[in-house]
A = this chain, B = another copy of it.
Amino acid sequence: MDSKSTSYETAVNISETESTKLKSSSAAPAATSKAIPHNQKGGWRRGVAIFDFILRLCALVTALAAATTMGTTDETLPLFTQFFQFQASYDDLPAFSYFVVANAIASAYLVLSLPFSIVCIVRPHLVGVKLLLLILDTVMVAFTTAAAGAAAAIVYLAHNGNSTTQWLSICQQFGDFCQRVSGAVVASFISAFIFIILVVFSAVALRRH
């Protein structure tokens, strides 16, 4: 009777070890099925990082175009009197000077941020770098939109003038100047918009961690 009960126990124990084996064998596919979405997530995040890099290049082009277009704008009218020449340059207006400085800073920041963006492509799970880029991108949104807004206000005045304050339109005389400046303002607004998209992408990539 005793030997029977022990043999019964052994049988139970064997079945238990078999069940644990089964459990462990069923745990293995579970682990792999967990690993696959993790890789997929990594791939998804890498795609966002590559898109981030491309957007940074686009923003660099527009910010650089805005800064150089505004910075090289300088028109001298052919008519001049004995005492002075009629000349319009970007640095006559402080708003335009700030515009050049802000867009130059944004361009420099974008160049410096490219290596960090590459790091995010190589290692899509790094959080600190993404957070740093998100914060600096937000500051750049403020920089570039303030510059674009200020320049746009002046360009509007230059085109239309203002009757209340008796500020006359200057685009009749300085047509080429006005066109170049308007182009620079549009480029700056585009780069500001790209910065906003960069912030949104960084936030979405941060969320999934």
Contacts and interface: CB of A to CB of B under 8 A. Distances in A.
A105 interface: no
Interface in A186-209: 192, 196, 199-200, 202-204, 206-207, 209
Nearest to A88: B164
Interface string A88-100: 1100111100000
A113 to B, nearest CB: 16
B167 A157 contact: yes
A13 interface: yes
A141 to B, nearest CB: 5
Interface stretch (A22-30, A36-44, A116-124, A132-140): A132-140
Contacts of A192: 142
Give this chain's copy count.
2
Contacts of A152: 146, 150
A61 interface: no
27 contacts: A3-B6, A6-B7, A6-B9, A10-B13, A13-B16, A89-B164, A92-B164, A93-B164, A94-B156, A131-B203, A138-B196, A138-B199, A141-B142, A141-B145, A142-B145, A142-B196, A145-B145, A146-B146, A146-B149, A146-B152, A150-B153, A157-B157, A157-B167, A165-B167, A167-B168, A206-B207, A209-B209
Closest 9 CB pairs of A and B: A146-B149, A149-B149, A150-B153, A92-B164, A6-B6, A95-B153, A149-B150, A167-B167, A145-B146
